[in-house]
Structure formats: structure tokens, C-alpha cells
Amino acid sequence: MPAFSFNWLRSRRSRSKSPKPFLAAACDNTVVSSSRGPGMFNQAHNLSATGNFIDGNVGSITYISTTSDHFMEKLLEKTIPGAVSNSSARYPPPRCHPGTRLAVLERCLHFITNCTGKRKIRWVVGFAGVGKSAIMQSVADSPNLPVTCHVSVFFSINGRDDGTKAIITLCYQLAAKSEPYRLFIEREVARDPSLLQSSMPVQFEKFIIEPFIHKSQLLHSPERILIIIDGLDECKNLRTQQELLRLISDFCITYPSSPLVWLIASRPESHITSIFARADVMPVYEKEEIQEDSDEGRADVEKFLREKLEEIKGGSNSFDSHSTWPEEKDFWKLAEAAGGLFAYADTVIKYIGDLNVGSPVSQFSDV
């Protein structure tokens, strides 16, 4: 086992036809119509359209208008590279193992479907390694996601940590999925190009509050839009983390009829928990705590380990059809060490199944 992995383990546990063009877009008293070729959706799949928003896994995004092309390119330059749920920089992204975290995912989807009034935030909180990012990715990928569209920011200390670009990153995705929204923000930026360099509060006001609250008729009242923010604690500036959370919570407090639902994941860092502990913030969120050693978490990790070890055994020439590897007592030692930590279990499985290192039997023994 590589030293860094072994030391980490010890320290942690001593996605036919092209869809029809998306046409009419109302902006003030002007109706803009577009006719498109393959363009924007030529690589789209799992696509759905409701009102003026389109959701799906869009492989490439283009627009017929030279002006729009230029605007979207300029907007893209201001986003966090690789921070979207389907970004190549995150491929393959972490996902919940089939059959695991079912209860957590069901609760998140139930909240997204049924939340009303000002309570529009679900905070997924837990320590490192419990699988928060996998849960957030699985929600984003869910075929049963009960929203008009969803957008996301997946923060990471590995270069995706500039929180000052979070609003533009969300804005770009919304613009790619809604013609009316794109026309609105394109007009605003044409009037004031400095908006793309403005502070988060100014961008939140112009790109979130104005279109979804004060100019909502332009979007024809979209039913529900999910905004996923994962790894808030990995944003590189603590004040930026707090400011973003305050903007979102204040938005939910002030505009309870908003169509936006927020799914936010973080570690339980004190500067984040202190915001959620405020008396005025408590009514706007529900907490989903992913506990390290819960019975639910342990059962899910056990299932993951058993199925992955069976895959390793089936893909190796080291075993015959009657092999009982691993012995049950050895399996339970591993399961006990992993507890409810998917990161631990996943690292172990990758090591045991690495045929470039040695045999699964000897590598299992090393663990």
C-alpha cells in the first residue's frame, strides 16, 4: 500500500432525436425568437423542459447569436473551472454506491419536493470521509429530481475554491438553461460591465434576487429550481463562506415565495455552524447530519465492502469458485475499522483491488 494511503488509513481509524428548439423569450416588451440547429442540445441526454427552463446533461453549449456567444464566453471566464456537477475535471465524480444512502437520499428528495415558505435550505453536514459529496452528486444525478432545473457548485481545495466566483458559476448554468434569464443578465451586464467584477452581495442582488423576485414575470414563474453547493468549508476564505451563507439565508428569510431551493453540504466548522445557530436563520433550514458511526452509515459501508470485495474476487485469477475469501472474521475487522467512513472503505478497496501492487489476498492482509 502506498505510504500516503496507509498513513491516512491509520490516522483516520487508530447518462434519438435532437430536442425541439427552445424558442420564445420575453424580455420587457420585446419577444425574441430563435431557431437553432443541433447547437446547444446536440449532446444532451436525460433532458426535460418546463416553462422557460431546460434541465439535462448538456455536453456542449452554443448559441446562434454572435452577441450571445460572446456574452456566454465572457461569463464562462468568470466561473470556477470544473466546479459543475458534470464537469470533466470531476470525472468520474463520487456517487453513492448502488443500494446505499437510500434513506438520506429519500429525505433530501422529499425536502426538495415539499419544502414551503422560508424553509428552503437543507444543510447536509458531517465530518470528512462520510460521503457528503457522493450524496450531493447522487441528488444532482437523480432521475426523480422534482425540480424545473438544477445548478451546482462543487467546491474543492484542489483548485475549485474561489468563492467569489460562486454566484457567476451558478448564473452561467442558469443562463445556459433559460433564454429569458440569459437575456435578462446579458442586458444588465451590457448596462454595467463591472457587475462581473462586483462583490458577492451585488452579484447576488443582480443575478439572483432581481430575476427571481423583482422580475420573476420574465421567467414565467418557474416552479422550483435546485441550487446545490457542496464543500462550502473548502472555499478558501472563511469570510467568503460566511458571506455566501448569510446571503442565502437572508434571501430565504426575506423572500419565502422564492422558487429556489438550496442544498448545502459542509463539515461542521464553527464559523459555519455559528451562522446556522442564529435565531433568525434556524427557521429557514433543515439539518441532515451524516454521522460517522451511525447504524445506517455502518450498514451502508458494510454493503459497499462486501460487494466490492466480491467484484475483486470475481476479477482475479487468485481465487477458485469455492473460495471463501475473505474469511468472515477478517471481513468484520475491516468493516469495524471503516465504521461509517466511505472514504476509508473506498481507499482500502482501491488498494486491495490494485493488481499492479500484488495479490488481493496479500493486500487485504496489509490492511
pTM of the model as a whole: 0.80
Cβ atoms 246, 275 nearer than 8 A:
yes
> Which sign, positive or negative, has the C-alpha torsion 319, 324, 330, 334?
positive
Strands in the chain per DSSP E: 25-27, 30-32, 45-50, 53-57, 121-125, 149-154, 225-230, 260-266, 285-289
pLDDT for the residue numbered 367: 87
**Which residues 6+ apart lie within 8 Å of 352 measured at CB?**
309, 312, 360, 363, 364, 367
Exposure string over 181-193, b if 16+ CB within 10 A, otherwise e: bbbbbbebbeeee
What CATH class is the domain 88-289? alpha beta
CA distance 102 to 243: 32
Please name the residue ranges forming H helices in 87-155.
102-114, 132-141
Residue 17: per-residue pLDDT: 38
Residue with cell 500516503: 4
pLDDT 10s per residue in the chain (367 long)? 444 444 544 454 443 333 333 223 333 333 333 333 444 344 445 555 455 665 654 433 333 345 677 999 999 999 999 999 999 999 999 999 999 999 999 999 999 999 999 999 999 999 999 999 999 999 999 999 999 899 999 999 999 999 999 999 999 999 999 999 999 999 999 999 999 999 999 999 999 999 999 988 877 766 899 999 999 999 999 999 999 999 999 999 999 999 999 999 999 999 999 999 999 999 999 999 999 889 999 999 999 999 999 999 888 777 776 788 999 999 999 999 999 999 999 999 999 999 888 889 889 998 8
CA pair distance 167, 244, nearest whole angstrom: 9
User: Could you tell me which residues are beta bridge partners of residue 261?
Assistant: 226
Domain locations in the chain as residue ranges: 25-76, 88-289, 295-366
